[in-house]
Homo-oligomer: A and B are copies of this chain.
Amino acid sequence: MDGGPMSEPTRKPAVVLLSGGLDSATVLAIAEQQGFELFALSFRYGQRHAIELDAARKVAARHRVTRHIIMDIDLRQFGGSALTADIDVPKHTRVDQIGQEIPLTYVPARNTVFLALALAWAETVSAFDIFLGVNALDYSGYPDCRPEFIAAFETLANMATKAGVAGENRFRIHAPLIQMNKAQIVTLGHRLGVDYGLTTSCYDPRPNGSSCGGCDACLLRARGFTEAGLPDPAQTDENSPRELE
C-alpha cells in the first residue's frame, strides 16, 4: 500500500473514536498501521470517568494524529445510566457473571450517537473510513456492540450523506476488535506498540485516578492481561484489580 509514514499527502483520512481506554487505543494503532491519516474523536458526555479524556489526549499525542477533537455533549440531560447519572456503578463478585444481562452501566444509544458524530466529521474531512473499538465478546452485552448494529450503521451512513449518495465512495465502519477477546486485543496492541500505560478502563475511578478494581471494565482488563501473559503497565499495587470477596 502507498501512504507509508513518510508520504503524508497520499494517506487516506479516517475518523477514529477514541475513549482513552484499552480497546480504542488498540484501534488507533490498527488504523495507523493500515496507513490512514488519523482524526481522533472523543466525547465529554457527562461520564463519571472523565479521567479517560486525559488518557485519550496522551494516546492521541503518542500516535500520529492530525487532529483530536474532544466534543462536549451532555448526555446527562437525558439521565438513565449509572455512567452518567447518580447511580452506583455495580460491582460483580466474579468476572464470569459479566455479560449475562444488559448492565446498568449501559448508556442509551451511545454508540449510535458517537458514530453519528463521527460520520458528520468524516464527511467534512472527506473521510470514508470510521474506526471504533466495539467488542461483541468481552463487552458486557451492550446491544450497540454487535456486528449487526455495525452493519446497520454502515448502511445508514451511505444513505444519510451527500458523499454516500454520490456513490463514488462508500463509507466503511471498521470494528476490528469485534470478534476478539481482551487477551487477543492486548496481544495485538502490544505487537503494534500501544502503550497501555497511557490508557484507563475503570468505570468508577478513585479521586486520585486509580482504578476501582471491581467494576466490569477492571475485571475484564485484568483477565485480558493475565490470559495474554503480559503485565498491565497501568497497574500499580494501589489499584490492583481483584475479584471481590
Contacts and interface: CB of A to CB of B under 8 A. Distances in A.
Given A112-B119, A119-B109, A121-B78, A162 B143 contact: yes
B73 A69 contact: no
Interface stretch (A2-10, A17-25, A151-159): A151-159
A139 interface: no
A234 interface: no
Contacts of A155: 152, 155-156
B124 A108 contact: yes
A74 B71 contact: yes
A165 interface: yes
Bin chain A's interface residue count. Answer: 35 or more
How many copies make up the complex?
2
A72 to B, nearest CB: 7
Contact of A108 (B102, B109, B119): B119
Interface in A33-80: 69, 71-75, 77-80
B110 A120 contact: yes
The 8 closest A-B pairs by CB, nearest first: A80-B124, A108-B123, A109-B120, A116-B116, A143-B165, A112-B116, A109-B119, A113-B116
30 contacts: A69-B77, A71-B73, A72-B73, A78-B124, A79-B124, A80-B124, A102-B165, A106-B162, A107-B120, A108-B120, A108-B123, A108-B124, A108-B161, A108-B162, A109-B116, A109-B120, A109-B123, A109-B160, A111-B160, A112-B119, A112-B161, A113-B116, A113-B117, A113-B120, A143-B159, A143-B160, A143-B164, A144-B160, A144-B161, A152-B156
